[in-house]
Amino acid sequence: MVSEFPHLFSPFEVGGISLKNRLVALPAGTSMAERGVPTHGDTEHFERLAAGGVGLIIGGATVVHRTTTLRSRKLVEAYGDEFVPATSAKVAVIHRHGARFVGQLCHLGREFIGGESDAPPSAPSPIRTVRDAYPPHELSVAEIEDIIEGWRVSTQNLVKAGADGVEVHAAHGYLPAQFMSPLTNQRTDDFGGSFENRMRFTRLVIEAMRSVMPVGFVLGVRLSGEEEIVGGMGIDECVRVAENLTELGIDYFSITHGTRGKYVKDSTNEDAVAIPSASKIRAATGVPTLVGQRIRDAATADHAIKSGHVDMVGMARALIADPDLPVKSETGRLDEIRGCLGINQDCRAFDPHLHCAVNAEVGRGRHPNVGTVPLRSKEVFVVGGGPAGLEAARVAAGRGHRVTLFEENTVLGGSVRVAAASPHRATLIDIVDYLERELRRLKVDVNLSAGIGADDLDEIRAVADHIVVATGSRPAQLPSGLHGRPAATVDDVLLGRLPEVRSRRAVIFDEGDGFWPAYSAAEALAQQGWHVTFVTPLTALASRVPAESVGPLLGRLGDAGVEFKVAHSLVIPNDSATPFLLRPVFGTGDVACDEVLVVWHQPRVPVPLGLEPDETVSVIGDCITPRRIGHAIAEGYRIGAEL
C-alpha cells in the first residue's frame, strides 16, 4: 500500500542512526518510577509506543543530579547505577519493534514542577519563579561543576544502557535555559553577563557529554522557540542560541514553545503552534530539526516536512491517546484513530502516574481479555449512548459479542456533547465521533430516540445475556427560590437557552465545583457582550481545572471584563422582589445584586434506570455518580473487557 503521507513515513538519517520514519514520540514522563528507577509499567508503556510504529522515541525528562530530584522519586534518575539495567530492558523492547530510543536529560534548576524536594531549589541567580514558594539558592562555581559532572555520568549511563542517543533539555525554563536567559541569569562571573558567558554552562554540559559518547551516538538539544513570558527569550534569541550550539556538532534541534505551566498546550491553543519557529531554526543552522506541540494528525505532520519547515515531527499526547496512530495513518485506517482531546486532565494529573482521559489502557495496562475471543458470544444490551456506554459497546463488540445500544436522544454523546459547546472546547466531541465510527465498523446495532422504560426492560431481560446501564446524568433542578426570577443552568447557557432579561448582566454562581462548566458559561456570556460577575465560595479560582489551562482561561475571562468574587455565597431571598445578596464566607458585608440573570451551577445528578447491578447487569458512568470523562471511559472499557 502506498502511504497517503509519504514524507512522514520515509526513512531518515539523524546523527549516526537510521530511522524507519520521521514520526517521533516526544518526551512524556510516566511517573512510573520507584526511587528514581523505571518500573515494569514504564517499560510496558514505551514498548506500546514502539509497537505502534513510531521511528524514534525520546524518553521523558530524566534528571541528572541529586539536587533536582523530587521527594516522591517519581522522576527517573539517570545518574544512579540502578538506572542502567532498568533502562537497558526498556531500550531492548523498543529496538525489538524497530524503533530507536534517545534519552532526554534534565536539571530543573529553580523549578520543581509542583512536587516537593528535599534539596533546595538552585539557579544561576536567586530569582524566585512565580510558580514556587521559595527563592532559589545561587549556584557556586563548584556546584555548577558538580552538576556538569552529573550530565556526564548520566550520559555515560545511557550509553551503557544501549540507548541510541541523548537529548539536552534546554527548553521550558529549566536550568540550561535559566543560564541562557538574562531574565533569570544576573551573575557577574564567567557564567553571566555577556551572551558568551550565559552560554558557557550549556556548552560545558555538552562538552562533558561528548567526552563519553561513542561515535554515532546521537546528540539533540531541545529549545523553546518562544518562552512566552514577559522578558523571556523569543525566536530571535533562540536562533542565536541554536547557531552558537551548532558549533558543537549538534545532530538535531527539537523546538517547542513555552515555559513550565505553558508548554503543554490545551485545546484553547492553535494546532502546530511551533512550526514557524522550528522552520527558522532549521533555516539558520542547517541542522535537522524536530518540531512538536499540539500536532495531532499525520496530515499536519506530513505537510510540515513536505513544505521544508522541519525534518521530523513529534507527538506526545496524540500517541498517548492512540499509540497505534502511526501504523493506522500509514495504512489508511484514519477513521480508526482515537484522537487526543487536548484537555490535559488525566495525562497531566500524574495521580499517581500517567493516565489518559480517552485511553483507559494508559496507566492501567491492557486488560488481559482485550484481543481475545470469549468462550461464548453474548447478547449484550447497552442503555445509554454517552462515553461510558459507547466505550463498553466498543470493547465488547471488538471481542466478538453481539451488542445493541439504546439512546433516548437523537444523537450520541450525552453530557460530553453539552461540554463540547463550550468556548474553545469543541475537540471534546472528537471522542464521541471516534466511538460512533468504531460502533459502525464493529456493526453494533445503535438505536437513537429509543428511551427505555420499565416495559422495555422486561423484554430486554428476556433476551439479553448482559445489560450495561449507562444512562448518564442531567443538571440538578434550580433552587426553588430562583423560580419566577431570570435564571438558568450552565447547560442552558452553553446550549443557548437563555430567558428574557431586562439587562445583559449575569451572576454565575459556582457552588464549589471549581471545574470547567461554570467558567465555560462565564466565557460564553462574556463573548456575547454580557457583563459577568463570577461568584464562588471557594478561596481559589478554577481550582480543579488542569494547571496548564488555568492561566489562559483566567486571562481570557479577565480580558473579557469578568469580575470575580471568591469566598462569597449567593443568597436567594424568599421574596422575589428582593435583590440577591453576595455574602462573604468569612466576615460580614452583604452586597445587593439586582436585575441580573442568575446562572446557577450545581452538581449534575444521576439518571437511574432502576436496575441494580448483579451477575447480568452492570451500572457504569455518571448514572452511579457524575464524574469526569476519564472515569466514564475507564469503566466502560473494564466492563466491555470483562463480559
Q: Are 548 and 262 in contact (CB under 8 A)?
A: yes
pTM attached to this predicted model: 0.95
Q: What does DSSP say about strands 473-474 and 605-606: parallel, antiparallel, or unpaired?
A: antiparallel
384 Cβ partners below 8 Å, 6+ apart?
405, 406, 407, 414, 468, 469, 470, 471, 472, 621, 623
Query: How many residues would you count in the chain?
Result: 643
Amino acid at 405: L
Q: Are 71 and 118 in contact (CB under 8 A)?
A: yes
Q: Which helix (H) or strand (E) holds 176?
A: helix 175-180
pLDDT confidence of residue 112: 84
Helix/strand/coil (H/E/C) assignment for every residue in 89-146: HHHHHHHHCCCEEEEEEECCCCCCCCCCCCCCCEECCCCCCCCCCCCCEECCHHHHHH
Over the stretch 206-219, which tens digit does the pLDDT of each residue have?
999 999 999 999 99
Quick count: other Cβ atoms within 10 Å of Cβ 103? 28
Task: Name the DSSP class of 410.
Answer: S
Quick count: other Cβ atoms within 10 Å of Cβ 523? 25
Q: Which residue has the cell 505537510?
A: 303
Given a cut of 50, the residues of the chain with pLDDT beneath it are none
pLDDT confidence of residue 483: 83
Q: Burial code of 147-156, b = ≥16 C-beta within 10 A, e = fewer?
A: bbebbbbbbb
**Closest to 352 measured CA to CA, from 34, 62, 83:** 34
Cα→Cα distances 227→285, 305, 323, Å: 20, 24, 29
Task: Give the sign of the dihedral formed by CA 388, CA 394, CA 400, CA 406.
Answer: positive
pLDDT confidence of residue 268: 86
Quick count: other Cβ atoms within 10 Å of Cβ 423? 17
Q: Are 100 and 56 in contact (CB under 8 A)?
A: yes
Helices (H), 67-107: 83-96
The helix/strand/coil state of 305 is: helix
Task: Give the sign of the dihedral formed by CA 628, CA 631, CA 632, CA 633.
Answer: positive
Residue 187: CA atoms inside 13 Å, Cβ hemisphere, count? Answer: 26
Q: Are 256 and 292 in contact (CB under 8 A)?
A: yes
The strand ranges marked E within 235-388 are 252-257, 289-291, 312-315, 379-383
As a whole number of angstroms, the distance between CA 105 and CA 150 comes to 10
Identify the bridge partners of residue 406 per DSSP, sorted by sequence position: 383, 447
**Closest to 493 measured CA to CA, from 526, 452, 454, 461:** 526
Cα→Cα distances 390→256, 289, 396, 397, 608, Å: 35, 40, 10, 10, 17
Identify the bridge partners of residue 375 per DSSP, sorted by sequence position: none
Q: Are 598 and 482 in contact (CB under 8 A)?
A: yes
Task: Give the sign of the dihedral formed by CA 516, CA 521, CA 526, CA 532.
Answer: negative
323 Cβ partners below 8 Å, 6+ apart?
48, 49, 51, 52
- The rounded Cα 268 to chain-centroid distance in angstroms is 12
pLDDT confidence of residue 501: 83
Identify the bridge partners of residue 105 per DSSP, sorted by sequence position: 62, 168
**Closest to 328 measured CA to CA, from 441, 425, 416:** 441
In order of their start, the domains of the chain are 12-336 (3.20.20.70), 379-475+605-642 (3.40.50.720), 480-601 (3.50.50.60)
- The rounded Cα 357 to chain-centroid distance in angstroms is 9
As a whole number of angstroms, the distance between CA 400 and CA 641 comes to 11
Over the stretch 119-168, which tens digit does the pLDDT of each residue have?
999 999 999 998 888 899 999 999 999 999 999 999 999 999 999 999 99
Q: Which residue has the cell 468462550?
A: 375
As a whole number of angstroms, the distance between CA 143 and CA 641 comes to 53
Amino acid at 226: E
pLDDT confidence of residue 113: 83
The strand ranges marked E within 553-623 are 563-566, 568-571, 580-584, 591-593, 597-601, 605-606, 617-619
The helix/strand/coil state of 340 is: coil
